[in-house]
Structure 1
Amino acid sequence: MSAPERIPPRSVTATDLLAHGELTVRGRIREASNAVLFCGIEYEGESAECVYKPVAGERPLWDFPDGNLARREVAAYEVSEALGWELVPPTVLRDGPHGEGMCQLWIETLPQDTAPELLALVDAEEPEPGWKAIGLAEVAEGRTALLVHADDPRLRRLAVFDAVVNNADRKGGHLLPAAEDRLYGIDHGVTFNTENKLRTLLWGWAGEPLPGEALTALSELTKSLADGAPLASRLADLITPAELDATRDRVAAMLDSGRHPSPSGEWPAIPWPPV
């Protein structure tokens, strides 16, 4: 009698782990404006660290529906994956110790002495090669300096992504340089508004032609956002129909212009505090 065929173990993906694992709260990240809990998570022999943001810990905002920020974080991850750039750490919506919330894989950032410099203040009127100007910032009474960001293709992808999801809060502290030359963006609760609320530190490419990889990614995203497409169906469970239509409109506008958007003048263009 022949031996039974061995069934290989099923690999556990990051989203499997986040969606089905057992959460253990280890502490709270105090600097955050909403409740952000640092957790351990285990599932089928795999373990990791993650961030859990319960809906119950969200502070109400005048321009976003109550109890909806966690879903927007998940929607941002879905769009990031559809663009093919993996800019947002794996993120799911699930029940946890304090009710429904967003659960996102914890990213271990590079030590400060080895992390790339992404933002800087310089005493100059124009940025040096390799840098893009954001604007003047007051650094002391009566003294200003030029705020710049790196002319980095990873940041440029984030600038395109932020324009798609209408990110109202792209601060320097939301940029996570990680191993293997990776750069992640986090904190996407204030996204997908139907009004133009883009606020970011990544204005250095404003008005410039979009790179070819961005035009290709946006064209593919258009297909993924079509009615009945899997991504559109998932987003329909996370944001409103009007917000989904507005997302389609933003993508179409960027493809039509072929350029990075510029500040509208109707909304503060740079978040405060910027870091």
Structure 2
Amino acid sequence: MKQVVLLLLLLCLPVSVAAYPERPLTLLVGFNPGGSVDRQAQLLVELLQQELGQPVELLHYPGAGGAAAAAMLAASSEQGYVLQYGPSHTYTFTPLVSPTSYDLGSFRYVAAISRDQLALVTSSRAPWSNWAELLKQGRQLGELSYATQILLDRYLISRIASKEGINLRILPTGGGAGMAGLVLAGDADFAFSGGTHSRYLETGEMRLLAAFGEERLLLAPEVPTLQELGYDLVLDSLRVITVPADTPDDQLERLVQAFASITQNPRFIKLTRDTMQLPVVFHSGTELQAFLEQQSSSLRSLVEQQPH
């Protein structure tokens, strides 16, 4: 009888649940080292380690503009122990136009922590100084070479080239570092950049041709947007932290707290806002979900308008 009573008492004792995280984490980046996402991620792993008290490994898994890493994340059973950092359009656009093993609902979204400054760039040594002069050169030569990083920028630039009647020679890259190498060497006439251009504007090696967003760029307010240049195209992108869909609420909330703190960290602000000239933001929960759903809807409309 005493053994039965003892067993019942043991069953009634509260179960001790280990505090998250109890082991190391991994931060995925879907681009090659050297670009602007990687520059932020290098600091994020350090700051996240301080916030969570566990080692964080940075893992580069480039391919398809972040989609290869997103597919890996969607298939992961590691819950909140594996995260991805990258642009929102990896989740909102790529599944609309190419076969993927994930869609917008395949993840939980921790937070958006900065806003991209998407632009078209060229070498400062190029004979053209603005968009109109580049187009004139393209019409004279019959072709322009273009360095691309993601599926979405190829999609948008193809619409522009079709409207202008210019042939493009597409040069794929695995991220900002690859793009910069082609532009600076003169192998690409112009290119898409998500933020890598900031360091080369400082050195005078690159110049901006146009901004993709609804508003002009923070670091170059004199550069027109594509809308101002006469194209019905707008692309604003947030840089977001995502985790697998089965991540428990308590883990998600702990990560939200950690990244909220990181966006207030002077080192993150200095790198992101002051050095890279990317606005620091913090969006989470329903606010972030609403942005992603609206972006996905807008891009779906864009795809449906594309002539086949």
What TM-score results when the alignment is normalised by the length of structure 2?
0.25
Task: Determine which structure has more spread, i.e. the larger CA radius of gyration.
Answer: 2
What TM-score results when the alignment is normalised by the length of structure 1?
0.27
The structure, 1 or 2, with the larger RCO (C-alpha pairs under 8 Å, 6+ apart) is 2
